[in-house]
Structure 1
Amino acid sequence: MAWFFLIIGGLFEVAFTFCLGKANEATGNEVYWWYGGFAISIAISMGLLIKATQTLPLGTAYAVWTGIGALGTVLMGILVFKDPVGFWRMFFMFTLVSSIIGIKFVSN
């Protein structure tokens, strides 16, 4: 169950970066809605990380949580915010995914 909490927490990390990006694009009162989503997402993400670390080793949990957030944020940037895509960017995303999978397999 801890791995489930960790994965969902990583996805909420992507959600809070998404809200931050949308807040930067928003105008007027819409900005506050995006910042509200940011605050809620970060609270859920951190809460799930805390829950996961009650069972998983802290270093493993944090590395996987951060990796999921980083990978998801890069993909979101490419798909939603039209960030550039290049060979080296994709290469290092692949190595990040490989590292996350490797950490999962060597952890208890």
Structure 2
Amino acid sequence: MNWVILIIAGLFEVGFASCLGKAKISTGNTAVAWYAGFFVCLTISMVLLVKATQTLPIGTAYAVWTGVGAVGTVLMGIIFFNEPADFWRLFFITTLIASIVGLKAMSAH
């Protein structure tokens, strides 16, 4: 169950990074709303990360959390922010996903 919590925490990391991206290109009340979304996602992500690390090794949990966040944020950038999706970028995202899966497979929990 804590692996599921950890993945959800990583998805909220994607949420707070995406909110920052949207806030950067917004003004006025819209920017304030994106910053509020950032703080909500950040808080939820951190609370879930703390919960997951109560039973998972901190090094593995942190690496998976940041990996899920990194992969998700890059994919959000490609899909919603028109960032490039060239071969090498996708190749390295794939290797990052393989590393996350490998950490999960090698974990004793």
TM-score by length of 2: 0.97
Match of 2:15 in 1: 15
Match of 1:38 in 2: 38
Q: Equivalent residue of 2:67, what SS?
A: helix
Identity %, equivalent residues:
62
Mapped partners of 1:97, 1:104: distance in 2? 11
Give the 5 Å matches for 1:13-92.
13-92=13-92
Match of 2:97 in 1: 97
CA shift, 1:63, in A, is 0.3
Q: Please, what is the CA RMSD of the aligned residues? A: 0.5
Note the alpha carbon deviations across 1:21-53, whole angstroms, 9 max, x for none. Answer: 110111111111100000010000011000000
Mapped partners of 2:38, 2:46: distance in 1? 12
Gaps of 5+ in 2: none
Extract structure 1 runs of 4+ deviating beyond 3 A: none
Q: Equivalent residue of 2:82, what SS?
A: coil
Tell me the number of residue pairs that the alignment of Structure 1 and Structure 2 aligns: 108
Gaps of 5+ in 1: none
